[in-house]
Amino acid sequence: MSSAQINIAGLSKRFSAGAPLVLDNVNLQVQQGEFVALLGASGCGKSTLLNLIAGLEEPTSGTIASPKAAFMFQDASLFPWLSAQANVELALQLRGASKSERRSEAARLLELVHLSDAAAKRPHELSGGMRQRVALARSLAQNRDILLMDEPFAALDAITRDLLHDELQRVWKETGRTIVFITHNVREAVRLGQRVLLMSSRPGRVVAEWPVGEQDPAVLTADITTELRKEIRRHAA
């Protein structure tokens, strides 16, 4: 039996009988504490795969063995009438934490993402990057071993995105979370991931894998970009 924290075998997904396959025979293992970046052409099934791991969708065939996961989306989706602290506390309330526990844990998580000074501010008073950091703190408040991230920085400007890369890597190292991160940005994938996976165009399959390790990031980025462009052209054909 595999010791992987996420173990996916022969996974296929179609949304209705007779509909084309979105995912076909996906096989994937993710180890505890690993940071995996997932690339692919638009519509290749990356988000569907994350939904399946999260238990938001049921597979058509195949198996998924995974503990419960927290999810972070491209949109921070904060409640506008609540402060940053209250948005994080809400996730803790849903876990059944007491009022005092919610207050102290939310404060700790906001400190972890360097937002202690913004705890009382509401979302409209925060920049896009700050809102995403609140969303990250809220995801961590769910206390799941796995964090699924669906293009969480795609809508941000390049400078803010660069800063959040540093923040995410720091938080990942401090918390030991297992992270599966979807992106369309090859440089982002190489910068963040320990391993980069490429999915084919529909039906989606994992068709290539690169360990990041000690490889030259520029060379690796170029290699992955070449393969990604092939998949995009195949999807457009």
Taking residues 20-43, report their average pLDDT.
91
The number of angstroms, rounded, from the C-alpha of 41 to the middle of its chain's C-alpha atoms is 17
Say whether pLDDT at 132 is over 80: yes
Q: What is the pLDDT of residues 68-80, one digit of tens each?
A: 999 998 888 899 9
State the pLDDT at residue 2: 53
Q: Specify burial of residue 131 (Cβ count, 10 A radius: 0-12, 13-18, 19+).
A: buried
Average pLDDT over residues 175-196: 94
**41 or 194, which is more confident:** 194
Q: What pLDDT, on the 0 to 100 scale, is given for residue 131?
A: 93
User: What token pair was written down for 13?
Assistant: 């997904």
Q: What is the mean pLDDT of residues 173-177?
A: 91
Percent of the chain whose pLDDT exceeds 90: 69
231 CB-near residues (< 8 Å, 6+ apart) = 40, 41, 44, 198, 199, 200, 201, 207
CB atoms near residue 50 (< 10 Å): 21
Question: 6-68+144-236 maps to which CATH number?
Answer: 3.40.50.300
Q: What pTM does this model have?
A: 0.91
Instruction: Please compute the mean of the pLDDT values over residues 126-134 and round it to a whole number.
Output: 92
Task: Report the mean per-residue pLDDT for the chain.
Answer: 90
Residue 25 has pLDDT above 90, yes or no: yes
Instruction: Indicate the domain borders of the chain.
Output: 6-68+144-236, 79-143
Which residue from 177, 215, 214, 211 is spatially nearest to 197, judged by alpha carbons? 211
229: left (phi over 0), alpha (psi -120 to 50) or beta: alpha
Q: Average pLDDT for residues 106-131, to the nearest whole number?
A: 93
pLDDT: is 124 or 73 the higher one? 124
Q: Quick one: pLDDT at residue 13?
A: 93
pLDDT band at 196 (very low <50, low <70, confident <90, very high): very high
The pLDDT of residue 1 is: 39
Position 236 scores a pLDDT of: 64
Calculate mean pLDDT across residues 226-234.
Answer: 84
pLDDT classification of 224: cutoffs 50, 70, 90: very high
Residue 237: pLDDT over 70: no
What separation, in Å, do the N-terminal and C-terminal C-alpha atoms of the chain show? 40
Q: DSSP letters of the chain?
A: ----SEEEEEEEE-SSTTSPPSEEEEEEEE-TT-EEEEEE-TTSSHHHHHHHHHTSS--SEEEEE---EEEE-SS----TTS-HHHHHHHHHHHTT--HHHHHHHHHHHHHHTT-GGGTT--GGGS-HHHHHHHHHHHHHHT--SEEEEESTTTTS-HHHHHHHHHHHHHHHHHH--EEEEE-S-HHHHHHH-SEEEEEPSSSB-EEEEEE-TTS-HHHHHHHHHHHHHHHHHHHH-
Residues 117-131 have a mean pLDDT of 94
- Whether the per-residue pLDDT at 198 is higher than 70: the answer is yes
For 162, the token pair is 């660069």
What is the pLDDT at residue 97?
86
